[in-house]
Each structure stands twice: as structure tokens, then as C-alpha cells.
Amino acid sequence: MLTVTNLTSERDDRILFANLNFSLHAGDLLQIEGQNGSGKTTLLRILCGLSSHFSGKIYWQNQDVSQQLPNFLQALLYVGHHAGIKAALTAEENLRWMQRLHPLLNRCTITEALNQVGLYGYEDVPCYALSAGQQRRVSLARLYLSSHPLWILDEPFTAIDKKGVLEKEALIVKHVQQGGMCILTTHHDFDLPKQTIRRINLDQLAHTITSVDTTPSYLVSV
């Protein structure tokens, strides 16, 4: 479904990764690993069309993404570092706006989603009055609402307590088992069959690459 060929990214004269190739099918989970500054976030942003610092091609359903951007964005749910949550609005107002933006946030009602993330009773509290963890939950309530086939999550478990992490992991596993795709940056181990989990370690990539011209294309093993 999602295929990436010869993806190379260079930032401020430093090559983050080069000639990255992988493809992701329904029911696959892709974990991006690496140290801070290894380019994890950049890679996710490139995939979402949020960064132009790359060369190479990205295909969605065998078509170049740049040729059919609206189609691709229709299928994509992205949760980044910055959640896109307005502090002055309540949890419900925030999620209602998200639904406006993404028509596929339609799996359940907002109240149900807020219940799921443990924010029952906080619907009408402005987000600036919530703790960092609670704000993160508001943003992750989208996962419960979402029926997007492709999830791209950047460090989804930061600022969330242990119980919350377990719940989100279960949710991601369920999403993948139901035929969804998920790309995320985290070191957690997921309770999924081995063949459906792929890993890309950007540190290893960076070490094996000396120059763009000489390196043969690097294929990620299953």
C-alpha cells in the first residue's frame, strides 16, 4: 500500500538517511528507531508531506503521492510532537474541529472517545487547565475516533502513564490486526506476529552510509 523508494534526506549539509526503501501493507506495523537527532521525526514528516527536505519517491496504492495528495491525506492520521490542541478550547471543541478536518474521525462519538482516554467529566474544561498528560490524552483520543487506514504517530507515549501506554498499545495492535497500517517512533515491543512488524534503525543506516553516490540502495529486512 505505502511504498517508499530511494528516500534520501539531507538537512543542513548532513545526510540523515539515504536510499531508504520499504513498503508497508495492510496489517503491517513499522517501528522507526534511532537516537535523538537521527531523523525519526523528519522521516515521519516527509511521509506526511510535511517536509520537503528529501529526494526519492513515495507511493500510495501504487501511485505517486504527489500526484494524488488529497486521496492520500484522506487516509492518513498523523499525531506529531505538537498535538494541534488549542489551549483556549475545551477537549470537546478541539476534537470537534479535528473531525471537521478529518472526515474519517467517525468511529465513535467524542464523548465515547474521551471516556476511553479517561477524560470523562473533563469535556468542558479548557485545555490549558489540563495537565500535560491529560492534554496528550486529548490528542490521542483521535486514535479511538479514527477509521483511517494509515496511522503515523511520532512518540505517541510521551507524558502518558503506564496504564495509558498499555491501553494505547492494545489499541494500535487492534488497529493493525484489523488491517490498518501504523508507522511510529518508539522502542516498545508490540504483541504482534513477527512478520507483521518491521523495524528501521536510523542509527545503523547512518553508520553504513558514507556518501550518497557509492552506497547501494539499502533494503530493510523483514
Partner 1 sequence: MNIKMPKWFYQLASPKWSYDIMGMLMPWFGLAALLLLVTGIVWGLMFAPPDYQQGNSYRIIYIHVPSAILAQSCFMLMAVAGIIGMVWKMKVAHIVAKSAAPIGASMTIIALSTGAIWGKPTWGAWWVWDARLTSMLILLFLYLGIIALYSAFSNKASGDQAASILTLVGVVNIPIIKYSVEWWNTLHQPASFTLTKKPAMPPEMWVPLLIMVLGYYCFFAYVLMARTRIELLEREHKSGWVTALLTDTP
Partner 2 sequence: MNFLNAAIKRELLLALRNRSEIINPLAFFLLVITLFPLAVSPEAKVLANIAPGIIWVAALLATLLSMDSLFKNDYDDGSLEQIVVSPQSLALLALGKVISHWLSTGFLLALLSPVLAVMLFLPSEAMPALVGSLLIGTPTLSLIGAIGAALTVGLRKGGVLISLLVLPLYIPVLIFGAATVQAGALNLPISGHLALLGAMMVFTLLLAPFAIAAALKLSIRN
Q: Which residues in this chain contact partner 1 in the complex, by CB under 8 A?
A: 12-13, 52-53, 213
Q: Which of 84, 83, 89, 87 is nearest to 124 (CA)?
A: 89
Site for partner 2, residues 104 to 163, rule: CB under 8 A: 126
Burial tier of 198 (Cβ tally within 10 Å: 0-12, 13-18, 19+): middle
Q: Measured between alpha carbons, how far is 107 from 174 in angstroms, rounded to an integer?
A: 14
Look at residue 83 and give the partner it binds from partner 1, partner 2, none, a contact being a CB closer than 5 to 8 Å depending on partner kind.
partner 2
Partner residues linked to 99 by β-bridges: none
The count of chain residues that interact with partner 2, using the rule CB under 8 A, is 29
Residue 98 binding target from partner 1, partner 2, none, CB below 5 to 8 Å by type: partner 2
Residue choice 5, 21, 68, 74 for contact with partner 2 (CB under 8 A) = 74
Per-residue exposure over 142-173, b if at least 16 CB sit within 10 Å of its own CB, e if not: bbbbbbbbbbbbbebbeebeeebeebbbebbb
Q: Which is nearer to partner 1, 14 or 188 (CB)?
A: 14
**Residue 102 binds which of partner 1, partner 2, none (CB < 5-8 A, kind-dependent):** partner 2
**Single-letter amino acid code for the residue at 154:** D
101 binds partner 2 (CB under 8 A): yes
Q: Least distance (Å) from partner 1 to the CB of residue 23? A: 26
Binding partner at 222 among partner 1, partner 2, none, C-beta below 5 to 8 Å by kind? none
Contact of 18 with 218, CB cutoff 8 Å: yes
CA pair distance 46, 160, nearest whole angstrom: 26
**Residue 52 beta carbon to partner 1: minimum distance, rounded to whole angstroms:** 7
Is 56 near partner 2 (CB under 8 A)? no
Binding stretches for partner 2 (CB under 8 A):
48-53, 70, 73-74, 76, 78, 80-89, 93, 97-98, 100-103, 126
